[in-house]
Structures are given as C-alpha cells and as structure tokens.
Amino acid sequence: MAGSEDESAPTNAPDSTVERSAGPEQRPKLLTIEPAVLLIFFAWNVSAAVFANQIVYQTCTVTLGKNESLCAQLGTENETKEVQDLEKQVQPFSANILMVKSLVESIVPALCSMLIGPWSDRYGRKPVIIACFTGAFLTYAIVAFISFLSMRIAINPWFYIVASITTALSGGTCALITVIFCYIADITTESNRAMKMAFLEAAIFAGLLIGTLSSSFILRWTNACTVFTAGAASVFLALVYIIFFIEESIKPDELGVANSKLRELFRWDLVTELTQTCFKRRPNYDRLIIWLTIAALGLNILAMDGTQTVYLLFLREQFGWTVKDYSFFDATSIACMIFGNTVGLYVIRKLFKPSDAVLAALGYCCYVINSAIHAIATEWWQLYLGIGVSFMKGIAGPMSRAVISTTATPSDIGKIFSLTTSIESLTPLASAPLYTYVYKSTLSWYPGAFNLITASVYFLCFCLLLFVRIFQRMYQAPTYSIVN
C-alpha cells in the first residue's frame, strides 16, 4: 500500500472534470428508489424503541417472574424507588438479548455481502434488493406474531432472536446498503454522485424520523403488536413498489447468464475476485485512500452500532426517559441531520467547494462533539445541545462512500462496496459485547461512560479522513516527453 506504487501511471486529480462512470446516455430511465428506502427505515425506527421496551417488559415478567403491573411501570414517568431498583435488575438481562440480536444480524450478512456485490455486478441489483426487503418483511411479521402471542401466554423474550434469522439469511442491512449504493453508482456520474448519495441518506433519515415520531403515538393508542405490524406493512409496500416500479440499473446486454443464478451466489471464487480487486495496485495513492476510507466507515459503524445497543437503556437510567421522550429526542436528532444533509451540505458546497474527503472529516468531527457533550451531560437539555451543534454529522457516511466511488474505477465499485459493508457488518462482533460490558460495568456510577469510547472512535475517523485529503493533494499529474 505504499504511496509510490505505479506513480508513473497517468491519473486524473480528484477535482478533474473527466468522469469515470458511464455517461447519461448510457443509463436507463429509472424511477427513484428513495421511497422504498424511506419505507424500510420507517419500519426500522417505528419498532426500534418499542422492541427494546418489549424486551425489558417480557424479561421482567417471564425471565425474572415479577408482577405484571409492576413491570408495566418500567420506563414510565414518575417511577418509584421499587421500580428503579427493578430496572437495575432487568437491564443486564435485556442488554444481553439485544447484544445477541445484533450479533445474529451481523455475522451471516457480513459473509453474504462479500458474495452479493460481485454477484450483483453480473446478474443485477434488483434481485438482491428484493431479497433484502423480503427478509425484512418476514422479520417484522414474526416479531408481530410473537408479540401477539405474548399477550396471551408467557413467552421467553429470547424467542425474538428467531425473527432475526430471516433478516440474516437475506443479507440484512449489510447487503441492503451494499446493493443500494451500487445502484446509485450505476445511475449517477462522478459529478452528481456525492449529492445523490447525500439525498439517499436524507431519505433514510426521513424514514427514521417518521418512524420515531409515530412510534410512541401508535404504542399509546394500541399496543406493541400493532407497532410491529405497521413495520411489516411498511416493508411490504416497499417490496411491492420495488417489484413493479423499479427497473434493473444494469443494462440487459451486460447481465450474465447462468442455469442457476442462486448457485452462482455461492461460488467462492467471487470472494477471490473481490479480494484481488480491493488489494490490487492503483495509480498514485488510490489504494491507500480507499483503505483509509474503508477503515473510517468500519469504525463509524462500530461506534454507531455499539451506542445504539445501550443508548435507550442509558437514557432510561440516567434521565428516567420514557419511549415518548426518546422518540421526540430521536426525531429532533434526525431532523437536524436531514437539514445538514440537504440544506447544510448544499450551502457549504456552494460557498467553499470542499472536497468529499473534507466534508466527510467535518461529519466525523461533528460526531466527536456530539458524543463528548453526551458523555458529560447531567441535564436533558445538554443532550439536545449536542445534536444541535452537530447537525452536519449525517454527511460522514455518504461523503466517505463518495470518496471511494470517485477513487475506484466503475467496474470495481461494487466489489469495494461489498467488502466495505462486510467489514461494517462485522464490527458489531466487537462493538456489541464491548459496549454492553462497559455499560454494565459502569451502570452504578457512570452510565454514560460508553460515550467517551464513541467520541474517541469518531476522532480516529476524523484523523483518517484528514490523511485521505493529504494523500489526495499529493496526486501527481501525468507527464509527457517532447519528441523531436
């Protein structure tokens, strides 16, 4: 990965007007995929807090065998001393279940993603997208069914892990993110790809926002089963939209032909091809830039997933928040990120014209500030201060991927994104146990200690992207000899 490799090879600077992707005349006419993405992430967030709450309640009633009326007071306003003590007993058990769920939804998808990227390069993006949405639909449907049964009979909360299996086998979020960003790379050019990825991320945030805002109201008016059913219905609508309204982004004459495309998915030479692509020599510092960015994206997910594992438990313990309180806070955070990903990004690009690497570094810097403020927060308003001053943090992910897509050649993007999301999906193997251990160890004296780990990880991401920009500035322009 030395910077001097193949330095004599001509290359375009990152700000060059020469584009590496196909021109607009080569792209099929496509309906936008953002509505389907919005719907699936709506399902994710409409059920996230309610799912954690349901795990806590059933752990209390079934695992610990406590009185239902007493367990129902967990996570509500004006908890008594008895309920607060019960919360401390329940949380370690609940944290373990959430940790295992995170691991199940990470291990298999990480392996699948290494195969899915090269496979989709040959046989198309749409089959993979349909598989991911189908798996998600089945997961929410199973969770809704188990929740429905739990209202009538005592069901151990560990049974909810079964629902995660369908998501894991279909590739999960890892495969979904891989193929969606490959899809975006197929239908965009280098000049508009960064903004398109930012708007895709905004659609993700919008789905999360709507899910967060509606979650507590649906729960208050109905019950947890209805919330999970709403999530399943949302993913089903997205699946129908994809099947009937989204076209394949790869041209028909470029698609591969095979007797059994499913069998082709399990060809391990695809992994060899992927590995060779990601490690091959590239002009100037391109290989080093790609790997520094991949490392930043992996660390980003490590911090994000680890924090998500224990964050609601932290808010309940430190501030006594209910699902409604958390939903409003999460909605505010997402609204700020949507603003940053659209208006904020547009203004900054117009005024200062920074590179994608600088924008990604700015996003990680905002994450550092946010986590640091939350680590020392003693009042609820300080949490809102953190998300307010870090409203640009949402650009870190899409801008990092934009760096990769503008550095790699079009034929390599799918494979590199596959490896990237595989690494991202494996990080919960470390983050979930680490954050769970830290949270349980510091619960009695400093519940917010895990935020210090998060801030440190994001600071490392910030440094990596600064190095990326330094290496980009060291690009050598091609030189030519004058022939007499």
Lowest model confidence (mean pLDDT) among 60-64, 231-235, 449-453 = 60-64
Of the candidates 369, 375, 367, the one whose C-alpha atom is nearest the C-alpha of residue 393 is 367
Burial class (CB in 10 A: 0-12, 13-18, 19+), 343: exposed
d(CA 172, CA 110): 9
Give SS3 for 269. helix
Task: State the average pLDDT over residues 429-455.
Answer: 89
Contact 287, 5 (CB under 8 A): yes
Residue, of 478 and 459, whose pLDDT is higher: 459
94: pLDDT strictly greater than 70: yes
| Confidence at residue 239, expressed as pLDDT on a 0 to 100 scale | 96
Of the candidates 386, 420, 389, the one whose C-alpha atom is nearest the C-alpha of residue 403 is 420
Here the tokens at position 196 are 């398109």
113: pLDDT strictly greater than 90: no
Q: Which CATH architecture has domain 32-72+83-190+219-248?
A: Up-down Bundle (1.20)
| Confidence at residue 37, expressed as pLDDT on a 0 to 100 scale | 94
Contact 381, 85 (CB under 8 A): no
241: pLDDT strictly greater than 90: yes
Q: Please give the angle made by the CA atoms of 127, 133 and 138, to the nearest 5 degrees.
A: 125
User: Tens digits of per-residue pLDDT, 402-435?
Assistant: 899 889 887 787 788 888 887 887 787 788 889 9
220: pLDDT strictly greater than 80: yes
480: pLDDT strictly greater than 60: no
User: Tens digits of per-residue pLDDT, 285-325?
Assistant: 999 999 999 999 999 989 998 898 888 888 888 888 877 78
What is the identity of the amino acid at 291?
A: W
Lowest model confidence (mean pLDDT) among 261-265, 351-355, 389-393, 476-480 = 476-480
pLDDT confidence band for 2 (50 / 70 / 90): very low
Q: What is the H or E stretch that residue 324 is in?
A: helix 323-339
DSSP string covering 89-141: HHHHHHHHHHHHHHHHHHHHHHHHHHHHHHHHHHH-SHHHHHHHHHHHHHHHH
Share of the chain above pLDDT 70, in %: 86
466: pLDDT strictly greater than 90: yes
Q: How far is CA 9 from CA 36, 384, 475, in A?
A: 42, 50, 11
| Confidence at residue 450, expressed as pLDDT on a 0 to 100 scale | 93
Task: State the average pLDDT over residues 55-84.
Answer: 82
Residue, of 474 and 108, whose pLDDT is higher: 474
Percent of the chain that is helix, strand, coil (3-state, to 5): 75, 0, 25
| CATH superfamily to which 266-475 belongs | MFS general substrate transporter like domains (1.20.1250.20)
d(CA 275, CA 419): 8
Of the candidates 214, 205, 261, 192, the one whose C-alpha atom is nearest the C-alpha of residue 38 is 205
Of the candidates 39, 93, 43, 51, the one whose C-alpha atom is nearest the C-alpha of residue 308 is 51
3: pLDDT strictly greater than 60: no
Burial class (CB in 10 A: 0-12, 13-18, 19+), 471: middle
Query: Where does the chain hold its CATH 1.20.1250.20 domain(s)?
Result: 266-475
What is the identity of the amino acid at 407?
A: T
- Please identify which residue in the block is written with the tokens 């993110």: 177
Altogether, the residues listed in the chain come to a count of 484
| Confidence at residue 83, expressed as pLDDT on a 0 to 100 scale | 81
d(CA 126, CA 140): 21
d(CA 432, CA 438): 10
